Chains A and B, each alone.
Chain A
Amino acid sequence: MSLLEVKNLKVHFPVKHGMFSRVHEFVKAVDDVSFSIDPGETLGLVGESGCGKTTLGRAIVRLVEPTAGSVLLNGEDITRMGGSALRARRRKFQMIFQDPYGSLNPRMTVEQIVGEALDIHQLTDSPSARQKRIVELLKAVGLDAVYAQRYPHEFSGGQRQRIGIARALAVEPELIICDEPVSALDVSVQAQIINLLQDLQQQRGIAYLFIAHDLAVVEHISRRVMVMYLGKIVETAEAKTIIREPQHPYTQALISAIPEVDPESKRQRIILPGDVPSPIHPPGGCPFHPRCPIAEERCQSEVPALREVKRSDWAACHLAGTKIDARR
């Protein structure tokens, strides 16, 4: 059985024009998304800013309320759970945020930050056990125990992200939603945090939903990768195959747009025209068709369904598999 199952999840935000006007329009931040994560697995989620990837992560842990659809954790529907029942389930899933500066309370010491999670779920029965557990958690994320009494501002970005990870680990979760955990960090520190997340997964069998905009990072850490565009999943496949043989034209363009370190690489570059359209008025038919270099007439009217193009490679495109010719 899957650890997490997301079925037809929708998150629509109302848009109001002026203070007293009625809601006429919605931003379809997440629009009919389904997927599952197995225990101990890493699922990567990539997309450009505004595509709804963060909202999707937040909707799963119920930090924003889903409009429709369901989220099943260990087979149990948590979408409409509330109060203490939801709080008890939250032990199973935690979140790590993008901004290690914004996600730690500046008035709390590291001990208080990590200990708060232990207190809420009453995981330790004595002050000394609590103390011991906090030291253990700090060690697990590579921080010295002497740091327990310090405040977040005394740490560097990478160290703060480690504190955030320790806080998530405190309740021994089965799933951690990592929302751009390394994009605010320096290049040399990024690798430290990626390695730490991988080590922790091996030791504790935690599953990750790894959200990022950097496809190289996502491919490195994930077994499977989902690509999101304007609130919809446009392709999902094994990490290796999605890089080598991307099926959806958007995935192809996304991969070709990444500047590469290797000077020998003669990869062709596909430059997409235009910007991501507004999610309030997404284009009809395939949401990608205005920027798609191979769009046909039916792409403007028929919404493509996610279909299995190759074994375990799903793409939402009428023409999936067609190679785009690069401009040069």
Chain B
Amino acid sequence: MNLLEIKNLKMDFGQGPDALRAVDGLSLTIGAGETVCLVGESGCGKSVTALSIARLVPVPPAHYVGGEILLNGRDTLKMSNGELRSIRGGVVSYVFQEPGASLNPVFRVGNQIKESLKLHRPEKATDAEVIRLLKLVGIPAPESRLRNYPFEMSGGMQQRVMIAMALASEPKLLVADEPTTALDVTIQAQILDLLRDLKQRLGMAILLITHNLGIVGDMADRVAVMYVGQIVELSPASELLRRPLHPYTQALINSVPKLAGGANRLTAIPGNVPRIGNFPPGCRFAPRCPIAKPECSDAVPELIEVEPGRWVRCPFWKTS
């Protein structure tokens, strides 16, 4: 059984005729100990998908219209508040983009980590365990650091505290939503290195959300590329980066300047990401797609398995 199985998830913001479909028929699985990356541009629905796993998106404004999110075989969309409380942290933990905004500014970081321990492992809610966790995430001098307030720490240190807090409950799945976007490159390298190391030592699964394709190459076993609410390509990471099949994935990879890539002109994707609620008919990428044909506007193409393990939402992937 897969640790996480999202089946045909559909989520709207708003209701009735004004409803905006943020996630449209998304299916994704994560096995135990696997790292899956969810890649896409801002507004494509990657964050709300991730938050939906522990049902952290407030309803309303959100409405789950269809689908299932099976975590350890049980549908989180049908869980009671009590059950949700036990899986939040207990099975799935989150690390967010801005550590400064996620930590409570008026409590010492040690107490914040202890709070997570009290909820999930009350017998271990001790200073010694907090120090062990801070050591685990590579914070030097943890004995004194646990008495720090968040503002006394740098962004990289704060993110380490967030990770320690997420790990305190020994989750099966760590969801990291752009964990390094607010950090500098040298600090980003430290945090990614830490995540890789922790994954090996603790054997948890990671769902990593990012817009940076470089991070995908560094971290992921499998990747799902999202474009305005839908997965357009799902594939093992190294194969996707070596030979992307969907025209959007190809365009995305080509539009990023590479180190020592020379001064060749970048191939930009024309136009803008369509707004939610204002999708073009048929394939949502068609207006920006270099190989679009008239029939692309007729119907939304299906996500089909074109090679073992490789899924593409484009009937013309062979010609691209």
Binding site for B on A (CB under 8 A): 48-49, 156, 158-159, 186-192, 194-195, 198, 213, 215-217, 219-221, 240, 243-244, 253-265, 269, 271-272, 275-276
Contacts and interface: CB of A to CB of B under 8 A. Distances in A.
B242 A263 contact: yes
B300 to A, nearest CB: 20
A195 B260 contact: no
Given A194-B257, A243-B260, A259 B192 contact: yes
B268 A192 contact: yes
Nearest to B288: A188
Contacts of A269: 189, 193
B269 A272 contact: no
B213 to A, nearest CB: 5
B304 to A, nearest CB: 24
Nearest to B214: A259
Interface stretch (B71-79, B87-95, B144-152, B247-255): B247-255
Given A215-B185, A272-B190, 5 more contacts: A186-B273, A192-B269, A219-B259, A243-B260, A272-B189
B159 to A, nearest CB: 11
Nearest to A218: B257
B266 A186 contact: no
B187 interface: yes
B188 interface: yes
A217 B269 CA distance: 16
Given A48-B184, A271-B190, A259 B215 contact: yes
Interface residues of B, number: 45
A191 B255 CA distance: 6
B294 interface: no
Interface of B: 41-42, 154, 156-157, 184-190, 192-193, 211-218, 237-238, 241-242, 251-253, 255-261, 263, 265-270, 272-273
Interface of A (DSSP majority class): helix
Contacts of B252: 187-188
B184 to A, nearest CB: 4
A274 to B, nearest CB: 8
A217 B257 contact: yes
Residue among B189, B238, B242, B252 with the highest chain A CB neighbour number at 10 A: B189
B237 A263 contact: yes
Nearest to B218: A259
Contacts of A198: 265
B73 to A, nearest CB: 33
Given A49-B184, A262-B217, A272-B186, A188 B260 contact: no
B212 A259 contact: yes
Contacts of A156: 272-273
